[in-house]
């Protein structure tokens, strides 16, 4: 069953919804419309959820297990043990855990890695190569802070697991997962929410994600989503502001741990066969030194820049900038795009710029200083190569009926989550950069029943 009937709430075009986000009156209207659509579908969600009527689960989909994927932004690989996060550690003990962490894809930033985890593609293949970047072919910048950009599916490549599931007649829900407000690979989740930076950070909105996940799983079997993705912006925010070792960051880790405990209890109470997967997108390092501003070494006249990304009109300019930046500092390497080391999987997409700067440590690098100087770098930073800055490593815990208990796994690249989660749902993954071999030893009996 692949019903594609548009729902009431989706009549709001992405561009229009973007403007709603900026105006509180219209944002309220959006919330009311979303609530009305949700109520129509038999749900009274705590978050303003948009419902897209895709029809019921197919008979095959109804028989499959459930996967709830939770991301805790910036939960460094070692935080749970360091801060005695009892719920996360119990999840790992009763299921699967990567005690030495999971390797984020480069760059270790939020948007690239959230898209990688749900598509199995390195950022250069799904196209979201940064939180902010320029596309030389489109002659346009993407910014995760721009509500229109994040909801515009034309920026995104790959087949997110929710799009794959929906295309096979399996219903899904995304509660603030980056990219889930866009139509990607021709599909949207049946349920999704609009990201509002301030609103989502309240204690009520944090609890709402748990209440909504539980409510969605209490829907009749034909409507229940089999895949639910949940995003939380902590402990990343505190980690940036106060540094990874600060009491505020530790408190945020324990707050998120308590929410994981509540979610687990709510999922257990449904009695459904649910695999709970808790990950993070990257870690956090204490930043060192002041800004390194690249235009003190090179002339960027005629360049587009975005952060430390450099885009020139001509080959001459690229070659000249490369020569000017080469060997000026031990704090960064400079490569022509095609020569970026293979292990970074970042040498083929023009959105990454050319030449490419790779920091050798936790250093704040930018092409140009903003007019107001931009202030000091944040105390906590990420985005670096996890092979050079191991604090970039992310977290991975998972437990459920499809997973063996008490299993630990060595650090693995996060592209491998996709073939593994699709297997748990019985879906056949399209071609991707991951491999099921990496995590297959954690699966109890090979996963779900393959789709017909
Ligand atoms: P980062 O510093 O790379 O960890 O980015 C974290 C930030 O990403 C959060 O503080 C939010 O501002 C932003 N963010 C997270 N999820 C979303 C989303 N779904 N839509 C837009 N921005 C988001
Ligand atoms: Zn992040
Ligand atoms: Zn961050």
Return the pLDDT at 6: 30
Q: What residues are in contact with ligand 1 under a 6 Å CB criterion? A: 73-74, 109-110, 131, 144, 150, 176, 178, 195, 197, 231, 233, 236-237
Report pLDDT digits (tens) over 284-336: 999 999 999 999 999 999 999 999 999 999 999 999 999 999 989 999 999 99
Q: Residue 424 Cα, ligand 1 centroid: separation in angstroms?
A: 28
Query: Token pair of 17, please?
Result: 């919804």
* Per-residue pLDDT tens digits for 159-214: 999 999 999 999 999 999 999 999 999 999 999 999 999 999 999 999 999 999 99
pTM of model > 0.85? yes
Return the CATH architecture of domain 58-285+392-442: 3-Layer(aba) Sandwich (3.40)
Residue spans per domain, the chain:
58-285+392-442, 292-377
* CA distance linking residue 282 with residue 284, whole number of Å: 7
3-class state of residue 33 by DSSP:
helix
pLDDT at position 10, please?
A: 27
What is the pLDDT, as a whole number, of residue 26? Answer: 47
CATH of domain 292-377: 3.30.1360.180
Burial of 359 (0-12, 13-18, 19+ CB in 10 A): buried
Please give the pLDDT value at position 46.
Answer: 79
Q: Which helix (H) or strand (E) holds 310?
A: strand 309-311
What was the pLDDT predicted at 13?
A: 26
3-state secondary structure of 334: strand
Q: Read off the tokens for 39.
A: 């109520």
Using alpha carbons, select from 71, 84, 70 the residue that is nearest to residue 253: 84
Residue 182 region by backbone torsions, left for phi larger than 0, else alpha for psi between -120 and 50, else beta: beta
Whose tokens are 């800004």? That residue is: 291
DSSP per position, 232-300: E-TTHHHHHHH-TTSHHHHHHHHHHHHHHHHHHHHHHHHTS-EEEEEE-S---EE--SS-EEGGGTS--
Give yes or no for a contact between 406 and 93, defined as CB atoms under 8 angstroms apart: yes
Identical topology for domains 58-285+392-442 and 292-377: no
Which residue is closest in CA terms to ligand 1's atom 5?
A: 110
32 vs 389, which has greater pLDDT?
389
* Ligand 1 atom nearest residue 114's Cα: 16
Question: How many Å lie between the centroid of ligand 1 and the Cα of residue 452?
Answer: 37
Are residues 306 and 356 in contact, defined by beta-carbon separation less than 8 angstroms?
no
User: Which pLDDT score is estimated for 47?
Assistant: 85
**From the CA of 321, how far away is ligand 3's center (Å)?**
29
Cα-trace Rg, the chain:
21
């Amino acid at each position: 069953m692949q019903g594609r009937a548009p729902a009431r709430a989706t009549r709001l075009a992405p561009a229009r919804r973007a403007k709603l986000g900026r105006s509180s009156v219209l944002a309220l209207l959006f919330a009311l419309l979303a609530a009305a659509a949700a109520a129509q579908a038999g749900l009274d969600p705590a978050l303003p959820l948009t419902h897209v009527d895709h029809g019921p689960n197919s008979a095959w989909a109804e028989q499959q297990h459930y996967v709830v994927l939770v991301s805790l932004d910036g939960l460094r690989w070692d935080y749970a043990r360091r801060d005695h996060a009892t719920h996360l550690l119990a999840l790992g003990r009763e299921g699967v855990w990567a005690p030495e962490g999971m390797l984020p894809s480069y760059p270790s930033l939020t948007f690239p890695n959230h898209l990688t985890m749900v598509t199995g593609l390195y950022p250069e293949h799904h196209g979201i190569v940064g939180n902010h970047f320029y596309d030389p072919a489109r002659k346009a910048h993407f910014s995760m802070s721009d509500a229109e950009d994040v909801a515009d599916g034309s920026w995104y490549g790959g087949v997110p697991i929710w799009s794959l599931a929906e295309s096979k007649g399996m219903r899904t829900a995304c509660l603030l997962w980056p990219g889930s407000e866009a139509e990607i690979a021709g599909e949207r989740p049946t349920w999704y929410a609009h990201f509002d930076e301030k609103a989502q950070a309240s204690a009520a909105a944090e609890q709402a994600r748990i209440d909504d996940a539980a409510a969605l799983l209490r829907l009749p079997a034909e409507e229940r989503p089999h895949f639910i993705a949940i995003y939380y912006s902590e402990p990343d925010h505190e980690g940036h502001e106060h540094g990874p070792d600060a009491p505020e960051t530790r408190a945020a880790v324990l707050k998120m741990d308590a929410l994981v405990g509540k979610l687990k209890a709510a999922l257990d109470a449904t009695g459904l066969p649910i695999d709970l997967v808790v990950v993070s997108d990257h870690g956090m390092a204490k930043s060192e030194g002041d800004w390194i501003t690249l235009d003190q070494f090179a002339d960027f006249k005629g360049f587009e820049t975005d952060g430390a990304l450099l885009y020139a009109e001509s080959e001459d300019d690229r070659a000249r900038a490369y020569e000017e930046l080469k060997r000026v500092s031990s704090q960064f390497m400079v490569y022509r795009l095609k020569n970026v080391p293979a292990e970074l999987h970042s040498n083929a997409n023009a959105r990454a710029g050319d030449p490419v700067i790779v920091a050798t440590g936790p250093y704040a690098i930018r092409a140009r200083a903003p007019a107001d100087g931009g202030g000091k770098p944040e105390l906590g930073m990420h985005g670096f190569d996890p092979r050079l800055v191991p604090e970039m490593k992310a977290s991975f815990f998972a437990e459920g009926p499809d997973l063996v208990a008490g299993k630990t796994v060595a650090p693995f690249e996060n592209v491998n989550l996709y073939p593994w989660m699709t297997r748990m749902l019985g879906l056949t993954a399209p071609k991707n950069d991951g491999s099921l071999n990496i995590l297959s030893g954690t699966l109890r009996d090979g996963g779900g029943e393959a789709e017909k």
